[in-house]
Amino acid sequence: MTEVSALMLNITLDLLLLQIVTGIALGAVYVLVALGLSLIFGMLAVVNFAHGAFFMVGAYMGVWLFTQTGNFWVCLVLVPLGVGAIGLLTERILVRPLYGRGIDYPLLLTFGLSYIFVEVVRMMFGLNGIPFSTPQGLTGAVDLGFGHFPRYRLFLIGATAAIVTALYMFIEKTSYGLIIRAGARDPEIVRVLGIDISKIWLVVFGIGTGIAGLSGILAAPLQSVTPEMGISLLADAFVVTVVGGMGSLKGAVVAGVLVGVVVSLTSLVSPEAGRVSIFILMAVVLLVRPQGLFGRTGALG
């Protein structure tokens, strides 16, 4: 009997359920990062390679603000606003002049911009990681009936659900959201109606990067805050975005949770295979459905 087979025989239902909840918590981070990617691509058709850098900037901004205020909840409000403001400047000054020149131009720009962000953070905060303690009131574990689970990870799941709901309500139930959806499908019609589509693009880019910054501070208590923390996460976020369907917000949510659970369950059986499993999942999905689970060209699905 192999070591893996012996391990699988020792997996109880309680352990399996606990691992699934762990995967949902991991997927919550993937969901938040992929949401921003899908929102920006679905509206602007920009593949934002700096998205992981905005995630990292959010974590460092949260660390700095926490040292100034000592209040984690204040940081949760200020960080997305601060990172979103950086996103607004990025879109207005750097990305906007490249619209209409092909998808490669903003891709290369944001790719280079990500390295600039990393180097600036290294100069400001150093090369070593900075620990970020779990906020007071969210420490300890909760008995779920089948095992104890960290309180902060449950908070992360709840916070992600609230953010997804708020974004859905904004996109689907407000007049501004209607304009965003219309602009994603046919920007020329929106222009004909007298709406300045460039302002819509600006707001969407700001919202997308703001969500990335928020996900950075939410993920900070789970890992050491380092200048490179956004690089590996960006690769995972792109997998989630591709599996869910480029530009699909629904796909980002479903695929984020799916990828998190797959990684968690695979790691339970073979920790070394955890990282590989998400790329296997992506390959299988693309073979069956090349556009992703909910992908639809030129629309926010």
- Residue 180, helix vs strand vs coil: helix
Which pLDDT value is given to residue 182? Answer: 75
- What sign for the dihedral angle of Cα 67, 73, 74, 77? positive
Q: Does the structure show a pLDDT above 60 at 134?
A: yes
Instruction: Please state at what angle helix 13-44 crosses helix 197-219, rounded to 10 degrees.
Output: 150
Q: Which is higher by pLDDT, 61 or 301?
A: 61
3-class SS shares of the chain: helix, strand, coil, % to 5: 75, 5, 20
**Could you give the domains of the chain?**
3-135+150-288 (1.10.3470)
Q: Does the structure show a pLDDT above 80 at 247?
A: no
Lowest mean pLDDT, pick from 26-30, 60-64, 122-126, 138-142: 138-142
Average pLDDT, the chain: 84
Which pLDDT value is given to residue 298? Answer: 44
Determine which helix (DSSP H) or strand (DSSP E) holds 131, and give its type and residue range.
none
Distance separating alpha carbons of residues 141 and 67, to the nearest angstrom: 25
State which amino acid sits at residue 268. L
Determine which helix (DSSP H) or strand (DSSP E) holds 249, and give its type and residue range.
helix 249-269
Are 86 and 240 a contacting pair, CB within 8 Å? no
User: Which pLDDT band holds residue 269 (cuts at 50, 70, 90)?
Assistant: confident
Start-end of H helices in 126-248: 151-173, 175-185, 187-192, 197-219, 229-244
Q: Does the structure show a pLDDT above 90 at 106?
A: no
Cα–Cα distances in Å, from 261 out to 62, 143, 248?
27, 20, 20
Closest alpha carbon to 264 in 2, 56, 11, 58:
11
Which pLDDT value is given to residue 103? Answer: 78
Q: Burial letters for 190-210: b for 16+ Cβ neighbours within 10 Å, e otherwise? A: beeeeeebeebbbbbbbbbbb
Mean pLDDT of 123-137: 85
